[in-house]
A and B are shown apart, each in its own frame.
Chain A
Amino acid sequence: MDKPTDNLDYLDKADNLKTIETANENPSFFEHRGNRKNILVVFNFVLLAIGSLLILSPLWWMFATSLKTMAEVMSFPPSFWPEDWLFSNYIKTWEAAPFTRYTINTLTITILVVIGNVLSNSFIAYGFAKIPFRGKNILFAIVLATMMIPGFVTLIPQYVLFANLGWVNTYYPLIVPAFFGSAFNIFLLRQFYMTIPTELIEAAKMEGANHFYIWWKIGLPLTKPAIATVAIFSFNGAWNDFLGPLLYLNDENLYTLQIGLQVFKGQLSTQWNYLMAGSLLVLLPVILIFFFFQKYFIQGINLQSGGK
């Protein structure tokens, strides 16, 4: 990437823009002054807390189930509070299949998919949003159209394609496509790029910057929250993907967590306690990532302007 060394005015402009837009810590449409504001905060807090209970109660049920014996799971009526808290279920779950191996495998795939998605989609979306070129609308329509064909009907031909490449029983079919963009993410990022003022880009061009540089120096930073969203979505998608690994992996040493979880689901009966324990364990990294990653998109822009 060749960097124009002389005039960096437009970068300052970009920074000014960021500062103007997000000078506060947390823009809020509910924000009011004085007492009314406090009342509103309390009201919202209570509302959110009640909502959380509704959201959490099914999860509590999962958690409670994960600690029960199967005999207790099968008893009726279902108990809300486990008799004995069998945390040992979690150990048994982990040992029921090579889950450590599966975790490493899943992590490998997921990390590469996230990198691929973040890099490729923001690059492609910038082209669709900010550069005029002939045939753009038709191409974009095709991008959207790829989302509209149900995956089932392309499943077999796609498998045959990857088989001919010799990619069956490798991670390539799961990872490589991520580096070429996906319709959902391209569309999402395009929507965010569209909100960047064209004048900003024009100004940068006037001062000799090319589009690569503008994308890297203006596009990426200004769409950081959206990129974080794409990262989180693709992390989720790859982490929870079941059909992809199932189809393409033959060697059990390459299996992922979602396939591993299936061992608790028998043909006749399901080991609910282990299945729930396993599901919660698998969920944990995703929650942690979200919890810590939040700040990147919640305060992303602020950090940006301050961190110069």
Chain B
Amino acid sequence: MGKKRLTMRRKESIYGYIFVLPWIIGFLAFTAGPLVFSFVASFTNYNITSQMDFVGAENYQGLFTEDSLFWTSLWNTLYFVIFSVPLTTIGAIFLSALLNQDIPGMRVFRTLYYLPAVLSGVGVYMLWMQLLDPGTGMVNLVLSWFGIDGPNWLFDPDWTKPSIIFMKLWSVGGSMLLYLASMQGVSKSLYEAAEIDGANTWKKFFHITIPMITPVIFFDVVTSLIGGFQIFQEAYVMSNNGEGGPANSLLFYNLYMWKQAFTNFNMGYAMAMSWILFVIVFILTIFNLKLAPRWVHYEGEEK
């Protein structure tokens, strides 16, 4: 019996390896090399074209002790992540709940709300710069209808990051897609049973829908956390000359890293920065993974 189970398990293992084999091949062929290289080069003064001398932990040490912009950029990025991740997650769940109904024109609505997520590139950011224009922009115009004197958005260092977060909320349609797909899988019988018990809409939402889509909420939180730390393009386009201004308020971590790598050619330094970011995000993700069993509910989980 024991022996048979062992071979069963071994057989299972072989299947497991076969299934993940494509990823392992791809990883070894395309990703692992560049990753290892960037790790090694983070201990050098690598500048891409002419030098790569070992400098020990100098890059890391310099970042922590001598580089005030490192801390500025890290703080800006943290600020962005702390606000944008919860807001876009809640926004997307709420939106998909609304869009997961039997209402006339639903396909059109879904397409409309998904639109902003598809639009990409510089045009969109320029569009937002126009909308956020403190004097003539549409956002402040709408606010003025409600008697609110709108802020200076991209010109006031206190409002630049909220501007970007605001813009991100406009395009939550991307994660909405995930939630919609997941809500489709929630069994109707659960709702019916709850209705018999006299549960109202909100109760059903919080006690059935939300728990049933936790695997996707978990996915969304983890990936938008990882993505949030990598924010770059928005600041690159929306701050003057891609400098990260005014007053460095949009100097996000990746923007600073980009400048070190591609305008100062301090590639080794930039690589050290990337590994510091990696450690931060990795710890947060592990934390997330460890916390997950407390709130993420997998219907198919082995008990």
Contacts and interface: CB of A to CB of B under 8 A. Distances in A.
Direct contact of A and B (CB under 8 A): yes
Interface of A: 20-32, 40-41, 44-45, 47-48, 51-52, 55-59, 61-62, 77-78, 120, 123-124, 126-128, 131-134, 136, 139, 141-150, 152-154, 156-158, 161, 176-177, 179-181, 184, 186-188, 191-198, 200, 210-211, 215, 225-226, 228-229, 232-233, 236, 240, 242, 258, 261, 265, 270, 275-276, 279, 283, 286-287, 290-291, 294-295, 297-298, 300-301
Contact of A48 (B103, B126, B187, B208): B103
B19 A132 contact: no
B215 A192 contact: yes
B108 to A, nearest CB: 8
Interface stretch (B57-65, B148-156, B174-182): B174-182
B33 interface: yes
B144 interface: no
Interface residues of B, number: 109
B100 A28 contact: yes
Give chain A's interface secondary structure class.
helix
Given A133-B13, A149-B278, A77 B136 contact: yes
A29 B208 contact: yes
B111 interface: yes
A153 B35 CA distance: 8
Contact of A210 (B15, B105, B205): B15
Interface in B272-303: 274-275, 277-278, 281-282, 285-286, 298-302
9 contacts: A21-B186, A55-B170, A56-B112, A77-B136, A141-B286, A150-B274, A158-B30, A158-B34, A240-B118
B122 A265 contact: yes
A201 B295 CA distance: 24
B219 A191 contact: yes
B118 A298 contact: no
B302 A161 contact: no
B121 A242 contact: yes
Contacts of B136: 77-78
A27 B183 contact: yes
Given A51-B113, A191-B218, 6 more contacts: A29-B191, A30-B101, A128-B20, A148-B278, A196-B299, A229-B178
Contacts of A62: 123, 127
A167 to B, nearest CB: 11
Given A45-B104, A52-B112, A229 B19 contact: no
B165 interface: no
B264 interface: no
Interface stretch (B80-88, B222-230, B241-249): B222-230
Interface in B6-59: 9, 12-20, 22-27, 29-31, 33-35, 37-38, 48
B257 interface: yes
A128 B200 CA distance: 38
Given A44-B103, A61-B130, A290 B204 contact: no
A232 B177 contact: yes
A188 B219 contact: yes
Contacts of A40: 201
B178 A291 contact: no
B38 A154 contact: yes
B188 A24 contact: yes
Contact of A225 (B128, B131, B181, B209): B181
Contacts of B229: 148
Given A153-B274, A157-B37, A127 B20 contact: yes
B185 A21 contact: yes
Contact of A157 (B38, B107, B114): B38
Contact of B118 (A26, A181, A287, A297): A287
A49 B208 CA distance: 27
Contacts of B185: 21-22, 192, 195, 225, 301
Contact of A186 (B23, B31, B285, B301): B23
Contacts of B209: 29
B19 A131 contact: yes
Of the candidates B19, B29, B138, B281, the one having the most CB atoms from chain A within 10 angstroms of its own CB is B19
A240 to B, nearest CB: 5
B111 A287 contact: yes
B23 A124 contact: yes
A275 B123 contact: yes
A45 B262 CA distance: 49
B238 interface: no
Contact of A30 (B37, B118, B201, B300): B201
Contacts of B131: 58, 61
B300 A197 contact: yes
Contacts of B120: 240
B258 interface: yes
Contact of A143 (B9, B23, B111, B299): B23
Contacts of B30: 158, 161, 176-177, 180
Contact of A127 (B16, B277, B285): B16
Contacts of A240: 118, 120-121
